[in-house]
Chain A
Amino acid sequence: MTDAAHEAGDDQLAAPGRPVAITPGQAALSGLRHPLVGILLLIGLCSAISGKPLDGVLMATVAVLLAWDAARARLRGWPGAQGAYTAATAPPRQNFTAPGGRVGTQWRPVRLLGPAAGVVAAVLYATIVGDFSRYSWPVTIAIVALGCLMVAIAWQGPIRSRRVLTGRPLRRAWLWAVVLVSGGCWELSSLLQQPHLTTDSAAHPTISALSDPVLASHPGRTVFLSGWLLMGWFLAGR
């Protein structure tokens, strides 16, 4: 089955070249019923009612864009429709790799220049943004701008090709799911044991509550932002 079919959630799309006759309404519904769209809309709603309207608007915007993209892919109804990128099939975007990256030593300075510039930019970003107070407009604009940029990059497809996970390692990926979901449930249980959703509990601290003392200082915010940027760089390279 193609990823276009996966995205649209319709097995009939798996047949190459098979004409698909659906109405725009059906296509819109197929986009809306994608699990991630529902999750993002739920996060957006919860964020908005817990006093974070900007988070809510951004999550809802991405959810609508994903639903629109899935609906568009279904309307096209042919394998390889835009949005069907996979690590195995999508060509890496050459503009993100050094020219002649696999050629001997002559391009080595060029290959090092990009990462070095990225590190400098990241350190500058973390230092400058870390100097702003939490929950202020300057830090909000800086975080939103970078977040939107990264999501836009992710939308275009993978930066580079990577080996596809298959066989025994794929079958054992559930171990990671168990650990990560357990962590999420533990955090959620702490959150629900607070006296109020917006009031921290000393007996059942969430990760946010535990990080507050660290984020109270400029060095702490800079280190935390550096870690966040590092995580973004790691994810963008997947």
Chain B
Amino acid sequence: MTSRELTIGGYLTVLAACVVLQIAAVRRPERLPSLGRVFTHVMRTRTGRVGVLVAWAWLGLHFFAK
């Protein structure tokens, strides 16, 4: 396995873990929070809300803006 394949494999593993967690949360919401509920918790204060939305805006800036 090359370094490139290993690196991409790492990203895919993280993605797969997110999918598994989300599926588990949807199936057993009393045991595990979904990603949406976690974001709701993080964004319960103004600082959290603005911080998360700034991170989202930064993604757009990073990939497209000067």
Contact = CB atoms under 8 A, between A and B. Distances in A.
Contacts of A183: 11, 14
Interface residues of B, number: 47
B33 A134 contact: no
A85 B45 contact: yes
Main SS of the interface on chain A? Answer: helix
A136 to B, nearest CB: 7
Given A190-B7, A202-B4, A58 B61 contact: yes
Contacts of A86: 44-45
B58 A55 contact: yes
A147 to B, nearest CB: 3
Contact of B46 (A58, A155, A180, A228): A155
A151 B47 contact: no
A134 B63 contact: yes
Nearest to B10: A186
A83 B40 contact: no
Given A147-B61, A203-B7, A179 B41 contact: no
Interface in A164-217: 164-165, 168-170, 172-173, 175-176, 179-180, 182-183, 186-187, 190, 202-205, 207-208, 210-211, 215
Interface string A25-64: 0000000001010011001000000001011001100100
B3 A204 contact: yes
A226 B43 CA distance: 23
Interface size class on chain A is: 35 or more
A135 B21 contact: no
Interface in A76-108: 83-88
B10 A203 contact: no
B57 to A, nearest CB: 3
B41 A165 contact: yes
Given A175-B21, A203-B2, A186 B46 contact: no
B44 to A, nearest CB: 5
A81 B8 CA distance: 47
B61 A143 contact: yes
- 7 pairs of A and B residues whose beta carbons are closest in the complex: A147-B57, A183-B14, A169-B33, A203-B3, A140-B65, A154-B53, A165-B41
16 contacts: A34-B47, A36-B47, A36-B48, A52-B66, A59-B58, A66-B46, A135-B65, A151-B53, A153-B53, A158-B49, A164-B41, A169-B25, A169-B32, A186-B14, A234-B36, A236-B53
